[in-house]
Structure 1
Amino acid sequence: MNFQSIPGQERAKRLLQNSLKADKLSHAYIFAGPLGSGRKEMARAFVAALFCSRNRDEACGECLECRKLAHGNHPDLIWVEPDGASIKIDQIRELQQQFAYRSSTSGTKVYILNEAERLTVQAANSLLKFLEEPQTPIIGILITDNGQALLPTIQSRSQWVQFYPIPPEQMKKKLLDEGHAPELVHVAVRLAAGLEAARSLIQINWFAETRNVMIQLMKDLAGKQPFLVTVQTKVMKSEVAEHLDTLFDMIMLWYKDLIHVCYGSKSSIVYIDQEDLLSRLAFTRDVSIWVECMERAAEARKRLRSNANTQLVLEQFLIDVK
């Protein structure tokens, strides 16, 4: 893994590579940003460049240090994942014990805390002492989608590296080049913040099924078919029922496509295989109605989060927009 293999996040790359070139590294970093934006990949690339025995700001991938990292057995790197619902104080104590000795070869040891926002209060306080009084040359990387959830004292003693959602067009090109189905790619890149997250969506069966069900519901609404039957048979009795939040996300994209068609921007539509249907439907209502339908879909999605009856939320939404 190296920096060049990571799509987007150019600002984060520059910051880290410049630090490596100047040999001015922080003792702790917070990699903050949405899931799928490349935080883990960037952490691996940063550590690889740091340990590489040939290059200063980019891993060569060939030296002994790079090969040890690639095989997951480098003694100077420790990953810490949540144990159940949280990262516990015993995990931080074990980390401190493992890092009580000097690095084997690279001169610096690195620990990476994934989902660092899940540190317990006790673990966070123990980590803070570790940050302030390291016994050996150590760099810590805290990966989180909510950096504000970390202790203010940890935030102030770490260098922030902010990650942003990768532009859909950039992800789309990469996924299409990999040979994924275009009709799934166009939707996935609009719903995921990063390449890995989009790729994962495409490869999950329920994602394609949810897309097909959503299109069937929109066809039912446009015609005279009993859409409540579709809800009963194809939503509530399938995996789609467990992913109604995604169903509503897809519905909002559908109405956005109708708006694009109304304004002559067919090149922007997401449901590329439904262009003929979208073109027929777009002008059957005023564009303000499509905007209102989008808003109602967003409201319905919010109601799902408040533990409302999922079937009733979906059926009421469909009745409203009908």
Structure 2
Amino acid sequence: MSFQSIPGQERVKRILQNSLRTDKVSHAYIFSGPSGTGRRAMAKVFAQAIYCKVLADDACGECLDCRKVEHGNHPDVHWIRPDGASIKIEQIRELQKQLSYRAGASGVKMYVLEDADKMTVQAANSLLKFLEEPSSRVVAVMISDNGQALLPTIRSRAQWVPFVPLSRELMVQALTGEGHSPALIQAGVRLAAGTDAARDLIQGNVFAEIRNLVIQLTKESVTRLPTALLTAQQKLTKSELSDHLPLFMDLLILWLKDMVSLSLGNRNDLVYADQTNWMAGQAGSYDMQHWLNCLEQAIELQKRLRFHANAQLVLEKMLMQLKGV
């Protein structure tokens, strides 16, 4: 791996490579941004680059140190993940113990905290003391979906490194190259912030099934509403798929956005491109305001689901709205 092997995040690469090139690596970084944007991969490459014996500002991926970091057995690199729901003070104390031992030839020790915002208050306070008074040359990387959730005193002692959602074009290119279904890719890249997250989503056991269910229920709703209501009950609210109703709503919202585009005569960049002909015919059966109202309703019902609204009632209301009842 190298910095260039990670798609996007050019600003992050510049920050890290400049610090390596000028020998001004900070003692602590906060990698903050949405899941799936390459934060973990970047932390690993950064660790490889710090110890790499071949390149000054990148990882060669071939030297012994690079390979040790890649395989998770470099003695000076420590990777901490939540133990259950949180990172506990015992984990931070054990880390401090490990970091008190003498580093290898480079003289640098490094640790990466995944989901750093999940530290308990005691763990965060213990880490803060260590950030203020490290016993040797140590580099910390704290990975978080929301770096602002970390203690202000920790944030003030670390360099902020913002990760942004990857461009849709880059994600499509990468996933297409891996041979994934184009139909699933178009939906996945709109629901994920990065290639890894999109890949996990479309490879999930239910993603394709839920997408097919969106197609089935929308078709049935506008032609045979009673059948749609029965299908929704049997296949979604009363089955093992009931836990995936939020995903169903996400994919339905994408379908409705396609319908708005089609009602405007735009067939470009559709998520459900494989359904274009049927959808275009239906789009013209109602005026555009109908589809905008449906989209508004779907977004509102999605919010209600987050507050534990009755799933069956939410779904029935949505399907009736599609029919215009």
- For normalisation by structure 2, the TM-score amounts to 0.96
Aligned to 2:293: 292
- The 5 Å alignment of 1:81-230 reads 81-226=81-226, 227-230=228-231
Aligned to 1:268: 269
Tell me, in whole angstroms, the C-alpha distance in 2 between the residues paired with 1:222 and 1:57: 59
SS, match of residue 266 in structure 1: coil
Q: Deviations over 1:187-239 (max 9, x none)?
A: 11111111111111111121111000011111012212421111122212434
CA positional deviation for 1:300? 0.8
SS, match of residue 141 in structure 2: strand
Match status 1:19 vs 2:19: yes
Tell me, in whole angstroms, the C-alpha distance in 2 between the residues paired with 1:92 and 1:211: 43
Q: 1:155 to 1:84 in 2, by over 3 A?
A: same
Please list every run of 5 or more consecutive structure 1 residues that lacks an aligned counterpart in the other structure.
none
SS, match of residue 29 in structure 1: strand
Match status 1:253 vs 2:269: no
Aligned to 2:43: 43
Tell me, in whole angstroms, the C-alpha distance in 2 between the residues paired with 1:285 and 1:23: 63
Residues 101, 136 of structure 1: 8 Å contact kept: no
Residues 31, 161 of structure 1: 8 Å contact kept: yes
Tell me, in whole angstroms, the C-alpha distance in 2 between the residues paired with 1:201 and 1:239: 18
Q: Deviations over 1:271-319 (max 9, x none)?
A: 1110111211122222222122111111111111111222222112222
Residues 49, 59 of structure 1: 8 Å contact kept: yes
Partner amino acid for 2:241? V
Tell me, in whole angstroms, the C-alpha distance in 2 between the residues paired with 1:263 and 1:93: 61
Residues 225, 319 of structure 2: 8 Å contact kept: no
Tell me, in whole angstroms, the C-alpha distance in 2 between the residues paired with 1:152 and 1:37: 24
CA positional deviation for 1:108? 0.8
SS, match of residue 205 in structure 1: coil
SS, match of residue 241 in structure 2: helix
Match status 1:278 vs 2:279: yes
CA positional deviation for 1:34? 0.5
Residues 103, 109 of structure 1: 8 Å contact kept: yes
Residues 240, 247 of structure 1: 8 Å contact kept: no
Residues 18, 57 of structure 1: 8 Å contact kept: yes
Give the superposed CA RMSD: 1.2
- For normalisation by structure 1, the TM-score amounts to 0.97
Moved over 4 A (4+): none
Aligned to 2:10: 10
Q: Deviations over 1:235-268 (max 9, x none)?
A: 1243431111111111110111112223333121
Q: Deviations over 1:12-46 (max 9, x none)?
A: 11111111111111110000001111110111111
Residues 2, 44 of structure 1: 8 Å contact kept: no
SS, match of residue 112 in structure 2: strand
Q: How many percent of aligned residue pairs carry the same amino acid?
A: 55
Q: What is the total number of aligned residue pairs between the two structures?
A: 322
SS, match of residue 213 in structure 1: helix
SS, match of residue 72 in structure 1: coil
